[in-house]
Amino acid sequence: MRVLAALSGGVDSAVAAARAVDAGHDVVGVHMALSRSRAQHRTGSRGCCSIEDASDARRAADVLGIPYYVWDLSEEFEETVVADFLSEYEAGRTPNPCVRCNEHIKFAALLDRALALGFDAVCTGHYARIVDGAAGRELHRAVDHAKDQSYVLAVMGAERLERSLFPLGDVPSKDVVRAEAAARGLSVSAKPDSYDICFVADGDTRGFLRSRLGERPGEIVDETGAVVGSHQGAYGFTVGQRKGLGLRRPAPDGAPRYVVATDPAANRVVVGPAALLSVDEVVGRDVVWLAERSGRRTDVTVQVRAHGEAVPASVELDGDRLVARLSEPLRGVAAGQSLVVYDGTRVLGQASVESARRAGAPGAGRRRDGVAAAGAAPRG
């Protein structure tokens, strides 16, 4: 096959491309330039799309003996991933930019261009497995569950899964990948992994949001509606957050308080005890389903964070909505997060969390101006 290998400049994508070459594919490497200011330098493992990353990708291509190109996708990245990140936080939701990047950039813009140029598939360094099942290709967790990235890939859809290669899905550990890179003479073998949000290189998400959305002072209230603090923008808070609240007074019982809801229309943040964070019913929208559709599944697990715990659940599909009833409560589920459904290691589908509640709790999950609270809404 003619394969386009996405080379980020890191060790995973380089080894994935090398394995595609070993498999006999006709491989071309491409580096996606996603930042509008790529002259910046990486700070350790923070940031991406820097001049060092592009240079590292080129050197890897040279070692592998494959053609190499740089594609400027910064406009698409800004208009989809970054714009979605800002609008979701502004609306009181908690987005996952890696999910959006996989949806709009790596398996939309990149794959669509690749197919238009006559390539058969795109190869990436994601840790996930593709299994040929009786009804077609299936997306499964990686062998190394610590590095598994199936959660952020679930949004790609069945058609794009057919055109994807994940050569690292079967490796037992990242150490094996680094050792293989060193044996192949790839200079990125010891390069640190990138983490956090790639376009917030300093790790200050709230500062990034403030620079784009401006300061919007407002109140922090407790579950009774009493004012307990202030903020510079409700968009900078997410359900389940404990640190950085800057409350003026502690809870009456001295227990920690967490963000239990945000109200963007009133520019208000609601805090409360940990008990208000537990939910056992989650509703999702914008469903992407990778398996055969059925109205109800009772033998599945669901996951709401990239490396979070998967909990047993039953799920019901109703058009573009999904309802997951959890066998045990989860804490801090926020609107905007990605809800991924698994059958064992297989990814069945994905949805964006619309609301979450504790079934039977008074006022639980009451919607406030389009944003779902994790627990009881404040009175007054």
Encoded tokens for 368: 């406030």
Encoded tokens for 228: 């307990």
Specify the number of domains making up the chain: 2
Encoded tokens for 208: 């990034």
In this prediction, residue 348 carries a pLDDT of 96
Q: Same domain, yes or no, for 173 and 239?
A: no
Does 170 map to a domain? yes
Q: Same domain, yes or no, for 181 and 221?
A: no
Q: Same domain, yes or no, for 225 and 337?
A: yes
Out of 48, 98, 123, 198, which one is annotated catalytic? 198
In this prediction, residue 294 carries a pLDDT of 81
Q: Same domain, yes or no, for 231 and 338?
A: yes
pLDDT per residue rounded down to tens, the chain (380 residues): 999 999 999 999 999 999 999 999 999 999 999 876 654 544 544 455 667 889 999 999 999 999 999 999 999 999 999 999 999 999 999 999 999 998 999 888 899 999 999 999 999 999 999 999 888 899 999 999 999 999 999 999 999 999 999 999 999 999 999 999 999 999 999 998 876 688 887 788 889 999 999 999 999 999 999 999 999 999 999 999 999 898 987 888 889 999 999 999 999 999 999 999 999 999 999 999 999 888 788 899 999 999 888 999 999 998 889 999 999 999 989 999 999 999 999 999 999 999 999 876 554 443 333 344 444 333 33
Cα end-to-end span (Å), the chain: 64
Does 27 map to a domain? yes
Does 227 map to a domain? yes
Q: Is 174 exposed, middle or buried (0-12, 13-18, 19+ CB in 10 A)?
A: middle
Residue type, 151: Y
In this prediction, residue 320 carries a pLDDT of 87
Task: For residue 330, give the CATH number of its domain.
Answer: 2.40.30.10
Cα atoms found within 13 Å of the Cα of residue 327, Cβ hemisphere only: 12
Q: Same domain, yes or no, for 172 and 23?
A: yes
In this prediction, residue 31 carries a pLDDT of 95
Q: Same domain, yes or no, for 154 and 279?
A: no
Q: Same domain, yes or no, for 174 and 284?
A: no
Does 211 map to a domain? no
Using only the alpha carbons of the chain, give its radius of gyration: 22
Cα atoms found within 13 Å of the Cα of residue 172, Cβ hemisphere only: 2
Does 114 map to a domain? yes
| Cα 368-200-212 angle, rounded to 5 deg | 55
Q: Same domain, yes or no, for 267 and 315?
A: yes
Q: Same domain, yes or no, for 220 and 117?
A: no
DSSP state for residue 98 in the 8-state scheme: H
Handedness of CA 144, 156, 369, 236 (dihedral sign): positive
**CA–CA gap between residue 323 and residue 337 (Å, rounded):** 14
Q: Same domain, yes or no, for 7 and 46?
A: yes
Q: Which domain holds residue 315?
A: 216-380
Is position 48 annotated as part of the catalytic site?
A: no
- Decide: helix, strand or coil at residue 238: coil
Q: Which of 196, 184, 186, 189 is nearest to 174 (CA)?
A: 189
- The model's pTM is 0.89
Is position 123 annotated as part of the catalytic site?
A: no
Does 335 map to a domain? yes
Report the b/e string of 99-123 with b at 16+ CB within 10 A: bbbbbbbbbbbbbeebeeeebebbb
Task: For residue 80, give the CATH number of its domain.
Answer: 3.40.50.620
246: left (phi over 0), alpha (psi -120 to 50) or beta: left
Encoded tokens for 294: 């059925």
Does 242 map to a domain? yes
Q: Same domain, yes or no, for 46 and 111?
A: yes
Out of 49, 98, 101, 123, which one is annotated catalytic? 101
Does 202 map to a domain? no
Q: Which of 260, 204, 206 is nearest to 228 (CA)?
A: 260
Q: Same domain, yes or no, for 227 and 295?
A: yes
Q: How many CB atoms lie within 10 A of CB 251?
A: 15
**CA–CA gap between residue 319 and residue 305 (Å, rounded):** 24
